[in-house]
Structure 1
């Protein structure tokens, strides 16, 4: 999850380069309930099929862009 779309896009592209088997993760805009201002949206990088052993590397990448990973 990222505050800036550019950061989410960069992470998605980097994940695709590091882990080609994943394909290119989708970047999705998520608005918070009750938020009217588009500037308050958060950006999700939807990456499916992540193995447990690569999660530390994913977490490090996400943290470099001031984001966080939600399990699921």
Structure 2
């Protein structure tokens, strides 16, 4: 898999909440010949190291990589595309019959 480090770089990066999602994208990208580097990066104000995002740097970063981001649950900083429609949740709790 990709190299894991403890801080992100200044290059175009893909962010993930889950390291497993990042690992799946790494596997797919490496099978297509991309070079990857995975790191953890905290956002401003986050003290808990478990809350830090996974940051994946891919070289070269091209249109193919951009297409794969949503499929594997990642996001790009500054991405202004609308988010997927939220799941429809029930308005009230379900009641079970005795």
Provide TM-score, normalisation by structure 1: 0.71
Q: Is the 8 A contact 1:59 1:68 kept in 2?
A: no
More strand by share: 2
More helix by share: 1
Larger-Rg structure = 2
Out of 50, 53, 58, the residue aligned to residue 65 of structure 2 is: 58
Root mean square deviation, CA, Å? 1.9
Unmatched runs of 5 consecutive residues or more in structure 2 = 1-14, 79-98
Identify the residue that residue 38 of structure 2 maps to in structure 1: 27
Unmatched runs of 5 consecutive residues or more in structure 1 = none
Ranges of 4+ aligned residues in structure 1 off by more than 3 Å: none
Paired residues, number: 64
Structure possessing the higher relative contact order (Cα contacts under 8 Å, 6 or more residues apart): 1
